[in-house]
Protein backbone atom coordinates (compact mmCIF):
# COMPACT_ATOMS: atom_id res chain seq x y z
CA UNK A 1 0.00 0.00 0.00
CA UNK A 2 1.30 3.43 -0.87
CA UNK A 3 -0.05 6.93 -0.49
CA UNK A 4 -1.76 8.43 2.51
CA UNK A 5 -5.42 8.64 3.29
CA UNK A 6 -6.79 11.58 5.23
CA UNK A 7 -10.47 10.61 4.98
CA UNK A 8 -12.56 7.57 5.82
CA UNK A 9 -10.78 4.74 4.04
CA UNK A 10 -11.68 1.25 5.21
CA UNK A 11 -9.53 -0.27 2.47
CA UNK A 12 -6.25 1.48 3.38
CA UNK A 13 -6.85 1.43 7.13
CA UNK A 14 -8.36 -2.04 7.57
CA UNK A 15 -8.31 -4.40 4.57
CA UNK A 16 -4.84 -3.70 3.19
CA UNK A 17 -3.17 -3.55 6.61
CA UNK A 18 -4.54 -6.92 7.71
CA UNK A 19 -6.55 -5.36 10.55
CA UNK A 20 -9.54 -7.36 9.31
CA UNK A 21 -9.32 -10.82 7.75
CA UNK A 22 -10.16 -10.97 4.05
CA UNK A 23 -10.70 -13.85 1.64
CA UNK A 24 -8.80 -13.09 -1.56
CA UNK A 25 -10.47 -13.83 -4.90
CA UNK A 26 -7.81 -12.40 -7.24
CA UNK A 27 -4.64 -10.39 -6.81
CA UNK A 28 -1.97 -8.65 -8.86
CA UNK A 29 0.95 -6.49 -7.75
CA UNK A 30 -1.32 -3.41 -7.71
CA UNK A 31 -4.90 -4.72 -7.38
CA UNK A 32 -6.77 -6.84 -4.83
CA UNK A 33 -10.18 -8.54 -5.15
CA UNK A 34 -11.73 -10.10 -2.07
CA UNK A 35 -15.06 -11.19 -0.64
CA UNK A 36 -16.79 -8.26 1.06
CA UNK A 37 -16.34 -8.36 4.84
CA UNK A 38 -20.03 -7.50 5.37
CA UNK A 39 -21.76 -8.76 2.21
CA UNK A 40 -25.12 -7.45 1.04
CA UNK A 41 -25.63 -10.22 -1.53
CA UNK A 42 -25.01 -13.98 -1.85
CA UNK A 43 -21.88 -13.14 -3.87
CA UNK A 44 -20.30 -9.78 -3.02
CA UNK A 45 -16.71 -9.19 -4.12
CA UNK A 46 -14.81 -5.91 -3.82
CA UNK A 47 -11.98 -4.92 -6.19
CA UNK A 48 -9.57 -2.17 -5.10
CA UNK A 49 -6.23 -0.68 -6.07
CA UNK A 50 -3.60 -1.45 -3.43
CA UNK A 51 -2.54 2.18 -3.29
CA UNK A 52 -4.82 4.98 -2.24
CA UNK A 53 -6.91 6.22 -5.14
CA UNK A 54 -9.81 8.43 -4.06
CA UNK A 55 -12.41 7.42 -6.67
CA UNK A 56 -13.16 6.67 -10.31
CA UNK A 57 -13.32 10.40 -11.10
CA UNK A 58 -10.45 11.45 -8.81
CA UNK A 59 -7.36 9.34 -9.41
CA UNK A 60 -5.36 11.36 -6.88
CA UNK A 61 -1.63 10.81 -7.40
CA UNK A 62 -2.22 7.68 -9.45
CA UNK A 63 -2.42 7.27 -13.20
CA UNK A 64 -4.87 5.86 -15.70
CA UNK A 65 -2.65 2.78 -16.07
CA UNK A 66 -3.65 1.67 -12.57
CA UNK A 67 -7.30 2.29 -13.42
CA UNK A 68 -6.88 0.01 -16.44
CA UNK A 69 -5.37 -2.68 -14.19
CA UNK A 70 -8.26 -2.38 -11.74
CA UNK A 71 -10.83 -2.66 -14.54
CA UNK A 72 -9.02 -5.70 -15.93
CA UNK A 73 -9.38 -7.46 -12.56
CA UNK A 74 -13.02 -6.33 -12.30
CA UNK A 75 -13.63 -7.90 -15.73
CA UNK A 76 -11.92 -11.15 -14.72
CA UNK A 77 -13.86 -11.45 -11.47
CA UNK A 78 -17.16 -10.45 -13.11
CA UNK A 79 -16.67 -13.03 -15.87
CA UNK A 80 -16.20 -15.73 -13.24
CA UNK A 81 -19.34 -14.70 -11.34
CA UNK A 82 -21.37 -14.48 -14.55
CA UNK A 83 -20.15 -17.90 -15.68
CA UNK A 84 -20.99 -19.53 -12.34
CA UNK A 85 -24.32 -17.80 -11.62
CA UNK A 86 -25.59 -16.64 -15.03
CA UNK A 87 -25.62 -12.95 -14.10
CA UNK A 88 -23.53 -10.32 -12.41
CA UNK A 89 -23.70 -6.67 -11.45
CA UNK A 90 -20.71 -4.30 -11.29
CA UNK A 91 -20.95 -0.94 -9.51
CA UNK A 92 -18.75 1.81 -8.15
CA UNK A 93 -19.94 4.79 -6.12
CA UNK A 94 -19.02 8.47 -6.19
CA UNK A 95 -19.48 11.49 -3.96
CA UNK A 96 -21.87 11.03 -1.06
CA UNK A 97 -22.70 7.50 -2.28
CA UNK A 98 -19.06 6.50 -1.68
CA UNK A 99 -18.85 5.65 2.03
CA UNK A 100 -15.16 4.69 1.97
CA UNK A 101 -13.13 7.26 0.04
CA UNK A 102 -10.96 4.70 -1.75
CA UNK A 103 -11.78 3.61 -5.28
CA UNK A 104 -13.60 0.30 -5.05
CA UNK A 105 -15.83 -1.77 -7.28
CA UNK A 106 -18.55 -4.15 -6.16
CA UNK A 107 -18.97 -7.32 -8.20
CA UNK A 108 -22.18 -9.02 -7.10
CA UNK A 109 -24.63 -11.75 -7.81
CA UNK A 110 -27.84 -10.62 -6.10
CA UNK A 111 -29.46 -14.05 -5.99
CA UNK A 112 -32.50 -13.56 -8.22
CA UNK A 113 -33.76 -16.50 -10.22
CA UNK A 114 -33.61 -16.38 -14.01
CA UNK A 115 -37.40 -15.89 -14.01
CA UNK A 116 -37.12 -12.87 -11.70
CA UNK A 117 -34.34 -11.35 -13.80
CA UNK A 118 -36.24 -11.85 -17.07
CA UNK A 119 -39.39 -10.43 -15.45
CA UNK A 120 -37.53 -7.27 -14.57
CA UNK A 121 -35.30 -6.83 -17.64
CA UNK A 122 -37.14 -8.81 -20.35
CA UNK A 123 -35.91 -11.35 -22.86
CA UNK A 124 -34.53 -8.90 -25.44
CA UNK A 125 -35.66 -11.02 -28.41
Q: Please report whether residue 71 resides in a domain.
A: yes
As a whole number, the mean pLDDT across the chain is 89
**55 lies in some domain:** yes
Rounded-to-integer distance, Cα 2 and Cα 12, Å: 9
pLDDT digits (tens, 9 = 90+) for 29-38: 999 999 999 9
- pTM for the whole thing? 0.86
* Distance (Å, whole) CA 59 – CA 53: 5
In a domain, 5, yes or no: no
Q: Is residue 68 part of a domain?
A: yes
On whether residue 4 sits in a domain, the answer given is: no
Residue 2 in any domain: the answer is no
Of 51, 46, 49, the residue nearest 69 (C-alpha): 49
- Within 10 angstroms of residue 68's Cβ, the number of other Cβ atoms is 9
Q: How many domains does the chain have?
A: 1
In a domain, 46, yes or no: yes
pLDDT surpasses 80 at 123: no
Alpha carbon separation from 30 to 59, 64, 66 (Å, rounded): 14, 13, 7
Segment 84-99, tens digit of pLDDT? 999 999 999 998 988 8
The residues, any chain, with a CB within 8 Å of residue 43's CB and separated by 6 or more, are 81, 85, 107, 108, 109
Residue 61 belongs to some domain of the structure = yes
Determine the structural domain holding residue 30 and report its residue range. 10-121
CATH of the domain at 28: 3.30.428.10
How do residues 55-83 score in pLDDT, each as one tens digit?
Answer: 999 999 999 999 999 999 999 999 999 99
Amino acid sequence: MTGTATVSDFYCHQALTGAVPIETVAETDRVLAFHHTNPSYPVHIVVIPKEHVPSLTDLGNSDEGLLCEVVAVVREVAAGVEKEYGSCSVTTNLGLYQESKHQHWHVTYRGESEEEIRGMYGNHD
